[in-house]
Structure 1
Amino acid sequence: MKALGFNGSPRSDGNTKILIEKVFDELRDRGIDCELIQVGGKQVRGCTACLKCFDNKDMKCVIDDDIVNKCIGKMAEADCIIIGSPTYYSDLTSETKALIDRAGYVCSANDNFLRRKVGASVSAVRRAGSIHTLDSINHFFLINEMFVVGSSYWNLGMGGEKGEVSEDDEGMETMKDLGKNIAWLLKKTNGSQEN
């Protein structure tokens, strides 16, 4: 089984990555392969609603000069998708938004290939506003018929400065519990998305 994480933070080694890696620790302890892809800080173009993905049906976006098609291909192969973003003005980063918009269109155009995969949102936040960030990511999972995994609290960790989220004991425990819940669901479904 494979879990794929996307770090939507421009800080490739910041709080969002720390949270995702805490989830990965639990998954790896249970024999689940994990891969993290850095999306934040890269040039990621937004969706233009051209709908060419519905004409082509090739599991790709026609915009092919950034990382998104690689991400879509990896999503198709994964059993679990974790999307993490810091909270920017009570929402996700523009790179994360571009990824979910374009991946969502391609998924819809190609027989909803994310159906019944496991999804989990994660957000780093200085103080407040992250619930909307989590909702935005969860809406991507829900519209694509995925199973959304929760934890013992909202899937967030608090910290402003780089690395500060590690000092949020409750946030780190929440990520640990999230990893356990993801692993439990993956084992129950055996990573299968059969109809």
Structure 2
Amino acid sequence: MKVLLLNGSPHKNGCTYTALTEVANSLNEEGIETEIFWVSTKPLMSCTACGKCSELGKCAFDDKVNEFVKKAYDADGFIFGSPVHYAAATGAITSFLGRSFYSNSEPFKYKPGAMVASARRGGTTATYDQLNKYFGISQMPIISSYYWNMVHGNTPEEVLQDEEGICTMRQLGKNMAYFLKCIEAGSEKGLTPKEVPKTKTNFIR
């Protein structure tokens, strides 16, 4: 089993990476393989609603988004990490996830997901709510810890001093591992998701 962790920070080895590493280490202890995927600092297009993804089966802008979605097929669970910018997730990760899920949500469906917010001080709960919405619209079980998934600190060293935050990350890894093993056990018993036919409506008559 494998969990793909997305680092949505412009700092490859900063505070968000430090938090994700704690989650990854906890998963590794449970025999779960992990990979931390960085969005990088290169300019990242937001979705332009061009509709080409429905023809191509991937985003028309061929960059790290398509690389990530390709890796998603082989992942069994996901952790999305973002620092807090103006009480919200970074513009980079929202553009990245918007294009990832809109162009092809199939590799994410039914797989558990969790998000991690990193902040010097405030805005973590707004970021937590924001990123959980990607899971909620994609039939993905949302994994929690014994506190909201967040760490505080202005540097990686300060994050490591946030003892409650670090414990929350470690418990998040244990909870993700538990649910992955439950899904595997259910699959071995022949349990599979059941889908109701989808109906779309709007409010204009």
TM-score normalized with structure 1 length: 0.92
Q: Could you say which residue in structure 1 is the equivalent of 2:175?
A: 181
* Distance of 1:123 and 1:40 partners within structure 2: 17
Q: Distance in 1 between matches of 2:134 and 2:90?
A: 14
When Rg is computed on C-alpha atoms for both structures, the one with the higher figure is: 2
What stretches of structure 2 of length at least 5 have no aligned partner? 194-205
Q: Taking CA–CA contacts closer than 8 Å with sequence separation of 6 or more, which of the two structures ends up with the larger relative contact order?
A: 1
Counterpart for residue 98 of structure 1: 95
**Runs of 4 or more consecutive aligned structure 1 residues displaced over 6 Å after TM superposition:** none
Q: Unpaired runs of 5+ in structure 1?
A: none
Which of the numbers 72, 78, 81 marks the counterpart of 2:78? 81
Aligned to 1:41: 41
Change beyond 3 A, Cα 1:20–1:129:
same
- In structure 1, give the amino acid aligned to 2:170: K
Identity rate, percent: 39
Q: Distance in 2 between matches of 1:34 and 1:159?
A: 24
**How large is the Cα RMSD of the aligned pairs?**
1.6
Which residue number corresponds to residue 145 of structure 1? 139
Is the CA contact (8 Å cut-off) linking 1:44 and 1:68 kept in structure 2?
no
SS in structure 1 opposite 2:43?
Answer: coil
Contact preservation (8 Å) 1:27, 1:179: yes
Cα pair 1:26 1:179 within 8 Å, conserved:
yes
**What is the aligned counterpart of 1:116 among 86, 90, 110?**
110
**Partner residue in 2 for 1:158:** 152
